[in-house]
Amino acid sequence: MNYSTFDRFAGAWWGSAIAGALSQDLNFGDRTKILRYKNPDWIATRNKIGQIIVKDGRLDRIDSQLVELLSDDATSVSIDPIDLPYRLMSLLLPIILFAEDNKYICKGIITQCHFKSDQTSQLKEYLLIWSYILTLVLNNKFQFKEPNVSKSIDLLLGGGEIKTTSLVEKLEMVSQAWSNGLSLRQLSDQLRQPINKDRDEVETASIAIALSWFCFASTPRNFMLSVKRASHINSRLSVPTAILTATISGAYNGVAGIPRSWRETSNSDRVEEETKNTIKQLFQTWLGIHHSLESKDLFCNPEIHAVAMPKIIQPRQNLKIISQK
């Protein structure tokens, strides 16, 4: 993975974890919604997936443990079919982060998973498309000098990886809506017209992907505005759209782009502490840094880093300062 900083790596992870809270009761303020929010169980499951990769130390083959964990989660009777697609997209994040330079690993894991959806093949296609989109963002393939949804969609479709007719059609509708100056609500209504009360979970997934791209690309450098816009969609689409938007925007802007008040409010839970450790260990494992090193060594250690991070001065033992008298 060609991430410029750990900040972008962690931004995708933290973004998706925070966004679910903002889609809850809109009568409360952001801080209250985050404080009242109970972390969904998929966050803990995603941490388990990350720890499996950390323990193995690599991901250059299809891991049967990951296939089993994803399959067991996706076939759980307690999961609403409408929630299944975005849940799986969120669970795939550590695999996408760690194996982006080998798309066959991610594809192989998705292909071997067993889902309870009646449209399994189409769902798997959307998961592959999601991994492709997120990989492009993480690898800095988009340079927004100014917001331009239509141009960014041309880049997405030009890569040849998005072949599902339904999603292509929806992305083209998003592009046209941007050109015509339609609002998010008008676009949402257009995309939802063929669906009967959002009951088709696979089609709902394609709409959520399309809407999340609109929310992100219309304000690419503003994480807060992108996510808040997505969370105000008046339908069952608000949660999946907000989570996918936050994942993309977090990957693009990094943790630094997430409002500090949102991050500080969300850091008071045991699961959040596990999440922080998993992110650091996963990135550390990818770098090839031994786990015995302290976490501070991951960010700035004069013995292993030639260049310090911004605002950090490395010690120079051979430098002697002679004061002038």
Per-residue three-class SS string for 155-221 = HHHHCCCCCCHHHHHHHHHHHHHHHHCCCHHHHHHHHHCCCCCCCCHHHHHHHHHHHHHHHHHHCCC
pLDDT surpasses 50 at 1 = no
For the stretch 271-300, pLDDT in tens is: 678 888 888 888 888 877 755 555 555 555
Confidence of residue 248 (pLDDT cuts 50, 70, 90): very high
Dist CA 125 CA 127 (whole Å): 5
| Chain segment 217-247, per-residue pLDDT in tens | 999 999 999 999 998 887 788 889 999 999 9
How far from 18 is each of 162, 220, 229, 231, 234, CA to CA, in Å? 28, 18, 14, 11, 19
pLDDT digits (tens, 9 = 90+) for 56-86: 888 888 889 999 999 988 888 777 777 888 8
- Domains delineated in the chain: 6-299 (1.10.4080.10)
pTM for this prediction: 0.83
